Structure 1
C-alpha cells in the first residue's frame, strides 16, 4: 500500500517536494514484449504455470515457500501451512488470446484494480499487460519480465 512520505526534514526552510501521485491519479501501466513462443504456450504459461515464474520471493504473502495458481477463475496463493489468499478473480478470457483479472482490494501483494493480458500472433507472439492502478510499479514490471523470460523472450524494458 502506498504510504505518504514523511514531511519531516532536517532542512525546515527547504521547499517541500511534490508528493507522489496517488494510485488513482496514475494512468495504466502498459508492458509489452514480443516472444518466439506460440500464443497457446504463452497463455498456458500465464494460466497453468504461473507458479514457475512469478517472483514469490518479492511479491508474495508467504515468500518462496508459497504456491500461486488459478483455482477455477480465482488466482490464489497457498502458504506452506495451506493457508490461502485470494489475489484476483477472472472477469473473462478468450483461450489463447486474453485474460482480464479483477484484482482483489484485499490482495496481500501488489495493488491494481484490473489486469488485462493480451496475446497476438502477428509477427511472433505479442504480449501486452495493461494494469490499472498498478502499485508498486517496479514489482509489476519484475513479474512481467519474469513471464517474458520464462517464455524465452526479452521485454521492451531491456
Structure 2
C-alpha cells in the first residue's frame, strides 16, 4: 500500500453551530488554514476551496440541520490535493446534484461542487453523512508542510 498517497501532510477539523454565521466562518477558515500550509490565499485552489465550503456548509445548515446539532469542517492536505469534508447530522438525505427548474433560485450547489472538484462524493457516518470534495493543484507541495508565512514575531525580552 502506498502510504504517501493516503497519509495527510496536515489536517484541520472544526465544529460549528448550524447557523449562517458559522457557514461564513467555515468558508473563511477554509482559505486561511491552507494558506498557512503553502496554498496561497487568492490562488485558484484557495478560491475553489472557498466556493466548495460555501456550498457544502450552506447545504449542511439548510438541508442537514438537526436542531441542537453541529456541522463539521475537516480539511486534509495531501501530496497533490486538498480534501474538503463537511459533515452534518442528517443521514437520511442523500446528496444528489440535479437539474433545477430554470427559474429556481436554489438547487445548483452540488453541480458547482462537481464542476470545481477533481472528485467528490458522500459517505455515511454513525450519525449523519459527510460530503467530500478533492481539489488538485498543478505542482505538488514540497515533502514537508510549508511553514506559515505569517509566523509570530519573537517576544520582546522582559525588562526587570
> TM-score range with shorter-chain normalisation?
under 0.3
Structure whose residues are more often helix by fraction:
2
TM-score, normalised with respect to structure 1: 0.28
Structure whose residues are more often strand by fraction:
1
Higher RCO structure (Cα 8 Å, ≥6 apart)? 1
TM-score, normalised with respect to structure 2: 0.28
